[in-house]
Each structure stands twice: as structure tokens, then as C-alpha cells.
Amino acid sequence: MIYDFSCYIDRLPYASSKWNMNTRPYQKGDMIPLWVADSDFTSPEAVKKAIRDYADFGVFGYTGNPHGLTAAVKGWLQRKHHWEIDESWLSFPGGVVASLFAAVRAFTAPGEKVIINDPVYPPFAAAIREQGREIAWNPLSYDGTRFTFDFAHLRSLFATADKPKMMILCSPHNAAGRVWTPEELKNLSDILLENDCLLVSDEIHFDLVWDEHEHFTAGRLGPKVMEKMIMLSSASKTFNVAGMHASYAVVPNEELRNAFNRQFTGSTQSNFIGKLALLACYTESDDYLEQMKAYIMGNFDFVIPAINQRLAPLKATRPEGTYLVWVDCRALQMEQKELMSWFLEDLKLRLNDGATFGPAGTGYIRLNCATPRMFLEEAVERIEANLKSR
Ligand SMILES: Cc1ncc(COP(=O)(O)O)c(C=O)c1O
């Protein structure tokens, strides 16, 4: 099937979080939401059909997993990410953020330290801080074009009596746009193993890697790492089914798996419609993914040179992974509040505030490119006109 990702779909009738500031279908000049990390694209045809068939079936009593679900996830990890798992390692705990919170509760005690690499997706910090644990910031280092891990700083975090117990890794990295290389991940996991530190690897963006970049899942870092890690992922970014909260966790070690799964006792996990969607994504939607990737790379072809040339002094690097562009606005020399209000009030562009991604995010904004290109074109025109008139 051929998909048209360039067409605008009015998402207001179904309470889109991203579009919730708008009160009418988009008209030129209205606020453009380029923040929340979902896409504005229709989901694969197979997903719509699976949900329609279930709606027509009409009996919505308690359920288990749809037939073939665990095999489908196993198959996806094998086909796309070259990782052989055992289906018994899987669980379906609703959203990835819920799993981050659960992992922090299950494997650390109040007051203990958890490492995150900022600038990073804000709920990483929330899962630690809001549950009474302490954040051990390990800021990514930046050479002006590319972010990398600061291994020396990471080692220094372990040179204290109260060593961090866990790292939450974002792979690929939201918002730095990096697809970590096997060498980087190997170095990282060696340090974690030496210090008996658990790895929680959030790989929700793992199918969205661009150009020559290839994702390397933490599951391929060898048997020792497998015994000390939790991998979290979902079809939600890849196929735009985030509203259905059908993520999954892969925990090879039985003891860790039981401790993790116990956190969900008594709570509702992924619902059946979400699981049907996940099954349809992973078994019948490869054509969608290929076409969407091509469309998003086309968006980068437009927006990255536009930012660097037409919107200078703003700067951006083409992401290696994720549909999120991390825009360096520091040369504008605005206070963060002033910067965000310039985008929102003056330009009517709703973007993510870089400062919410940790101390290393000040001076940046995050731009979501999983949208019809016309919105990116309109956003660039607005910023360009405003910069010229300053
Ligand atoms: C790194 C990362 N993890 C988790 C999530 C959200 O996951 P979920 O909606 O399954 O809770 C996002 C969404 O932007 C994300 O970027």
C-alpha cells in the first residue's frame, strides 16, 4: 500500500495531546505544534483493520495476549535488531514511562543514585526524582556537531562510597539524536558491569534510524550484560500508536524479571486493542515503516539546511536516529523563558523547551519532524521573517 504522509489530518476530534492548544482545524497562521513525540501520520492499514475487526466482533470481555503476539515481538527483535530472545522474557507493562518508574522502584532504594545522560527525555529525571532517588547527571559531551558519552565523568560517578545503582540509557538518544555505536555501548556497559550497575535501556526509538546508521540493541552486548539489564521498547513511535500504550519489556534474568513484573501487580497493563495494534505493526506493516522513513528523511533534507542557512545563528545537526531535531539557539543569547515565549507567543510555534531535558539542555529547543512537510516549511518561514525583522 502507498501512504501519503504529506496530508494534514485534523486530530482535534480525538483529543490529541499535541494539538490541544488549537480549537479549530489548522488554518495558515495558526499555532503549529512541533513538540510531543508522536507523528501526525495515519497508522498502518493493518492496524486500522485489526481494530475494526475487533470492534465488529463486539465482545470485549477479559483477555490474554492475542495469538502470536510474543512470537511477533520475538520475530521483530530478530529480524530488525538481530537479537534472539526467549518469549518468556517478555512482558507488556503499558507504557515505557510506567516501566521506567517501575524499574527505579524495583531496583533502587530511596536516596540511591541513578545515572542519566542529559540532555535527555524529561521523564527519565522524573522517574528518579519523584520517587525519592537521586539523579547522578552524566552530561553528554558535545563537540559542536556530535554528542558522545563522557566516559571519564562516568567513571568519576562511581568513585564515591554511594555508587549509583542504575543507569537509564536512551538508545537511540532523545534529544541528542545519536545512534550509539557498538563500541560506545561496549565501553559504557564495561564500566557499568565493573561497578555492578544495572542497565535500563529505553529503545523506544530503535526503528527510527536514518541514512547509514544502525541501531545496536543492548541485548547484543553479551551474556554478562544480559544478566544485568532491562530493555524497554514499543511500536508507538515507529507506527504512531502511542495512545494505545502497548509497550513491552525484555528482561532475560529471571530474578530481575520477577522483581520488575511484581511492580505491576494489581495495575492494568497494556490493553487488548493496543496489543492487537502491536501485533499488526510487527507482522504486516514493514512497507509503512520504509515509506515513513523516506518521508522523514525528506523532512530532514529540507529542515536541517534551512535551519543552518536561513535561520542562522540557529544551528542543528541531522539526527542519526529519532524524528526529533535538537536545535541550538544559544547564539540568540536569550534567557530560556524569553526564548520559549518568542517561539510560542511571537511565532506561534509550540516546541519542547530544552531546559526540561536537564542542565545540558539550556539554550536548546526540540523540534519534532514527524509531520507533513508544509508545517516545517511554514515554521521556517515564520522564524526567518522574524529574524530578518529584528
Ligand atoms: C525515550 C522515550 N521513552 C519513552 C517515551 C514514552 O513512552 P510511553 O508513551 O510508552 O510511556 C518517549 C516518548 O517520547 C521517549 O522519547
Q: What is the pLDDT of residue 370?
A: 98
Residue 54 lies in a domain: no
C-alpha cell at 36: 510531543
Residue 310 lies in a domain: yes
Residues 32, 72, single domain; the answer is no
Residue 5 lies in a domain: no
| End-of-domain residue from the set 264, 284, 304 | 284
Number of independent structural domains in the chain: 2
Distance between CA atoms of 140 and 227, rounded to whole angstroms?
26
Ligand 1 site-directed mutation target among 34, 39, 96, most atoms within 8 Å of CB: 96
Q: What is the DSSP letter of 167?
A: E
Residues 186, 206, single domain; the answer is yes
Q: What is the pLDDT of residue 269?
A: 74
Q: What is the pLDDT of residue 315?
A: 96
Mean per-residue pLDDT pooled into runs of 10, the chain (390 residues): 97 95 94 98 98 98 95 98 98 95 98 98 98 98 93 97 97 98 98 98 98 98 98 98 95 98 86 96 98 98 98 97 98 98 98 97 98 98 96
CB-ligand 1 contact for 249 (6 Å cutoff):
no
Q: What is the pLDDT of residue 231?
A: 98
10 contacts: CB under 8 Å, gap ≥ 6: 25, 26
**213 Cα: distance to centroid of ligand 1 (angstroms):** 21
Q: What is the pLDDT of residue 267?
A: 79
Q: What is the pLDDT of residue 145?
A: 84
Residue 221 lies in a domain: yes
Residues 207, 309, single domain; the answer is no
C-alpha cell at 243: 495512545
CB half-sphere exposure, 108, CA atoms < 13 A:
31
Query: Checking phi first, is residue 245 left (phi over 0); if not, alpha (psi -120 to 50) or beta?
Result: left
| Widest distance between CA atoms in the chain | 62
| End-of-domain residue from the set 238, 258, 284 | 284
CB-ligand 1 contact for 37 (6 Å cutoff):
yes
In CATH, what number is assigned to the domain containing residue 139? 3.40.640.10
Residue 2 lies in a domain: no
Residues 35, 94, single domain; the answer is no
Distance between CA atoms of 32 and 11, rounded to whole angstroms?
13
Residues 123, 70, single domain; the answer is yes
CB-ligand 1 contact for 99 (6 Å cutoff):
no
Residues 253, 307, single domain; the answer is no
Residues 275, 187, single domain; the answer is yes
C-alpha cell at 238: 515507529
Residues 220, 204, single domain; the answer is yes
Residues 176, 256, single domain; the answer is yes
**28 Cα: distance to centroid of ligand 1 (angstroms):** 30
Strand pairing partners for 343? none
Distance between CA atoms of 116 and 169, rounded to whole angstroms?
7
Q: What is the pLDDT of residue 33?
A: 98
**260 Cα: distance to centroid of ligand 1 (angstroms):** 18
Q: What is the pLDDT of residue 266?
A: 83
Q: What is the pLDDT of residue 237?
A: 98
Residues 160, 292, single domain; the answer is no
Distance between CA atoms of 255 and 268, rounded to whole angstroms?
22
In CATH, what number is assigned to the domain containing residue 17? 3.90.1150.10
Q: What is the pLDDT of residue 25?
A: 95
Residues 76, 200, single domain; the answer is yes
Length of the chain as a residue count: 390
**211 Cα: distance to centroid of ligand 1 (angstroms):** 23
CB-ligand 1 contact for 121 (6 Å cutoff):
yes
What domain range includes position 312?
12-44+286-388
